[in-house]
Amino acid sequence: MKYTLIVLLAFGMLMTACKSQEMVPAEQPPVEEEPIVEAEPEPEPPGEEIRVVEERFTFETEEDEVTHDENMFFVIVGSFIQKDNADRFMETLRDQGFDPVILMSETGFHRVSVGSYEQEVPARTRIQQVRTNYPDYHDTWLLIRKL
């Protein structure tokens, strides 16, 4: 009987000890959120490098200037000496869902842009999207505004 009492007491103490450990929640440190880092553009596959030109230009319309004047990087899908050709190409682009803008370069070309950006990475991403989704525009390139 003496041993039974000791065993019961030991068993009771074990149960109490285990129970108290289960009931105490562990403190967890506060979770800090990682800042969002803008991803670098995927490198272009060999043979598909993006042509980059830096030049001065003016906008064809005042409305286009107001809308895009703050941007430095422009996605160019066509370049024409003749304005009529640029205008016809713009109509084709509108039919395909683009919102094109004509930029008149310092070299006399009418550059047809389908996007303008403050940063280079989104412009390069858009170029890759255009090239992928519109194979006819596989030679889309990047125009950097020269101040």
Question: pLDDT per residue over 5-41, tens digit each?
Answer: 555 555 556 555 544 455 555 566 665 665 555 545 5
For 71-110, write each residue's pLDDT tens digit: 999 999 999 999 999 999 999 999 999 999 999 999 999 9
Contact 76, 111 (CB under 8 A): yes
Domain count, the chain: 1
> Are the CB atoms for 118 and 71 separated by under 8 Å?
yes
Domain span at residue 114 reads 52-145
Q: What's the rounded Cα separation, in Å, for the pair 98 and 128?
A: 15
Which CATH number characterizes residue 129's domain? Answer: 3.30.70.1070
Cα→Cα distances 74→2, 23, 60, 93, 145, Å: 92, 62, 14, 16, 8
For residue 9, being part of any structural domain is answered with no
Q: Is residue 107 situated within a structural domain?
A: yes
| Confidence (pLDDT) at 74 | 98
